[in-house]
Amino acid sequence: MNADTPAVAPGVESLVAAEVERQLKTLREEMDAKIAAVRERTVDDAAAIIVFSDDLDKVLAGFVLATGAAAAGLETSMFFTFWGLAVLKKEGAPGGPKNLTEKVFAMMTPSGPGTLGTSKLDFFGLGAVMLRRMMKDKQIASLEELIAIARDLDVKMIACTMSMDAMGVAKEELVDGLTYGGVATYMADAVRSRVTLFI
């Protein structure tokens, strides 16, 4: 031992080591708690899209974004509400019992993705025909193909039950493989998503 080094009382080294270990353990616990708190606030690799429109061009954009997000590895959900429910309808599917208002409403809304009009220059359906023709000529996927791709990519499609009730749409009128839920279902997806869109 060097003459300049002060003598250490027996047992002090072990006490110091125990105190250092205790402080390190406390620090680790505090850090773990902080990391857990940050993780609770951190979003997942997810995207949540609300489809409110029944316009062909807007719905196409919604499915392009959804399939792109899913292909990029984001867990993707689409929440179809009000007019957007038309996208999920099975064309020619018999509906449940409807009152007079619901019957008139059903006649005034698209009966499925094949009957959607465009948001601009529709001209009683001619705009949708022209848009579909131009997309086919340029070998761009149709809405029906995009819907199939979205299903293959496990995009979750949610039908808004409140809108179904309000508009008199029965489950029998909609395609198979849907999730049914309200605003809480959408919000559960949205709060943990990196991307949220309203179309």
Query: Which tokens go with 62?
Result: 């919604």
Provide the pLDDT for residue 40. 67
Q: Do 90 and 170 form a contact (C-beta atoms < 8 A)?
A: no
Region 168-182: what's the mean pLDDT? 95
Residue 130: pLDDT over 60: yes
Provide the pLDDT for residue 23. 86
Task: Tell me what percent of the residues of the chain surpass a pLDDT of 70.
Answer: 92
Query: Which tokens go with 61?
Result: 């954009």
> Which DSSP symbol is given to 134?
H
Domain range summary for the chain, segments of one domain joined by + = 10-42, 46-198
Q: Do 49 and 199 form a contact (C-beta atoms < 8 A)?
A: yes
Region 146-164: what's the mean pLDDT? 97
Mean pLDDT for the chain overall: 89
Residue 35: pLDDT over 80: no
By three-state DSSP, how is residue 140 classified?
coil
Provide the pLDDT for residue 102. 85
Q: Do 67 and 146 form a contact (C-beta atoms < 8 A)?
A: yes
Query: Which tokens go with 187?
Result: 């919000």
Provide the pLDDT for residue 112. 92
Provide the pLDDT for residue 133. 95
For residues 36 and 171, the model is more confident at 171
**Contact residues for 189 (Cβ-Cβ < 8 A; gap 6+):** 46, 48, 77, 79, 156, 158
Strand 156-160 relative to strand 75-80, pairing: parallel
Distances (CA, A) of 74 to 45, 145, 189, 194, 196: 5, 20, 12, 9, 12
Residue 96: pLDDT over 80: no
Q: Work out the pLDDT band at 158, boundaries 50, 70, 90.
A: very high
Within 17-65, strands assigned E span 46-51
Q: Work out the pLDDT band at 39, boundaries 50, 70, 90.
A: low
**Contact residues for 160 (Cβ-Cβ < 8 A; gap 6+):** 79, 80, 81, 82, 84, 85, 181, 182, 183, 186
Highest averaged pLDDT of the listed ranges 35-49, 85-99, 107-121: 107-121
Which CATH architecture group holds 46-198? 3-Layer(aba) Sandwich (3.40)
Q: Work out the pLDDT band at 5, boundaries 50, 70, 90.
A: low
Q: Do 82 and 160 form a contact (C-beta atoms < 8 A)?
A: yes
d(CA 111, CA 103): 12
